[in-house]
Amino acid sequence: MIDKVILYILIAIIPGLIWLFIFLRRDNLEEPKLEITKVFYLSMLLVIPAGLIEMNLLEKISSLEINNLYYFLKFVVIVGLIEEIMKYLVVRYAVLKRSFLDEPIDIVIYMIVSGLGFATAENILTFIADPNLMTDPQISNGVKIAMVRFFGANLLHILCSGIIGIFIALSFYQIKKRYLILVLGFTLSIIIHGVFNFSIELFIINNDEQIAMAPFVITSTILLPFILAIGKIRKMKSVCKIN
């Protein structure tokens, strides 16, 4: 049993490491490995307080009628908002004002790393919290779950965190509109996060195979403009100090 738990933890970590390798290769300069590691693991740790806060708030709205307002509160105001804020706070207090953060693309990279840390911790919890998976003699189901999360929830966290990073980078060059740009970035990220989770809820409720593809449609639709935006950010001039 312990061997299986260790195996599934390794399987859960692999998707995050693959995405981390992909996006770090797109950076102009190599970031300090210690700082990358620090952001990754700090974000993993914040999954626990984020989950506790979410459970507490979800319990408070559990008596509400199941309608559009309930879903908005659940997926956007509670889950989306809390998780995106948590991932941002890691970067905000761990690296945002450090001297090595001198390129606009740097903040995007660190936000992506924070998203990957959070997603990796979610992967681990998903595996070890499933008793059926832990008792299944075959590991193929675990591998399938890892693949689904690779293109689904893991990519979602990359996109949502990266979007915030992109808007933060843009705000450096629009001082007068800085806070408006930041609000737009966070709002867009939180809404995308909420819509993604809502699409999963719809699939669970309706058990419809067509709806099952909705989360992947969301992430794949956003991926191309996201990559193009990162390319634009990479070409922006260096800044002497990011604050």
pLDDT for the residue 27: 56
**Higher model confidence: residue 196 or residue 66?**
196
Q: What percent of the chain has pLDDT over 70?
A: 90
- What pTM did the predictor assign? 0.90
Range with the lowest mean pLDDT among 39-43, 99-103, 183-187, 200-204? 99-103
User: Are 102 and 238 in contact, with CB atoms under 8 Å apart?
Assistant: yes
pLDDT for the residue 183: 97
pLDDT for the residue 85: 98
Report the pLDDT averaged over residues 133-152: 79
Residues sharing a CB contact under 8 Å with residue 32, sequence separation 6 or more, in sequence order: 100
Six-digit token string for 158: 């990359």
C-alpha 118/C-alpha 108 separation (Å) is: 15
**Which secondary structure element, helix H or strand E, spans residue 149, and what is its range?**
helix 140-151
> Could you tell me the pLDDT band of residue 92, with boundaries at 50, 70 and 90?
very high
CA 227 to chain centre: 16
What are the pLDDT digits (tens) for 98-116? 766 778 888 999 999 999 9
- Look at phi and psi of residue 207 and say left if phi exceeds 0, alpha if psi is from -120 to 50, else beta: left
What are the CA-CA distances from residue 90 to residues 37, 45, 74, 84 (Å)?
12, 10, 23, 10
Helix axis angle for 47-60 and 104-128, nearest 10°, is: 70
Range with the lowest mean pLDDT among 6-20, 127-141, 182-196? 127-141
Per-residue pLDDT at 239 exceeds 70: no
Q: What is the mean pLDDT of the chain?
A: 87
pLDDT for the residue 20: 82
**Higher model confidence: residue 178 or residue 145?**
178
Range with the lowest mean pLDDT among 31-40, 78-87, 169-178, 218-227? 31-40
pLDDT for the residue 137: 67
Select from 202, 193, 187, 194 the least CA-distant residue to 66.
202
133-136 contacts, C-beta under 8 A, 24 or more apart: 133/8, 134/1, 134/4, 134/5, 134/8
User: Position of tokens 């936000």?
Assistant: 111
Select from 167, 194, 193 the least CA-distant residue to 180.
167
How many CA atoms lie less than 13 Å away from 125 in the CB half-sphere? 12
Q: Which amino acid is at 139?
A: I
pLDDT for the residue 171: 93
Select from 151, 140, 142, 181 the least CA-distant residue to 164.
181
pLDDT for the residue 95: 87
95-128: b (≥16 Cβ within 10 Å) or e = bbeeeebebbbbbbbbbbbbbbbbbbbbbbebbe
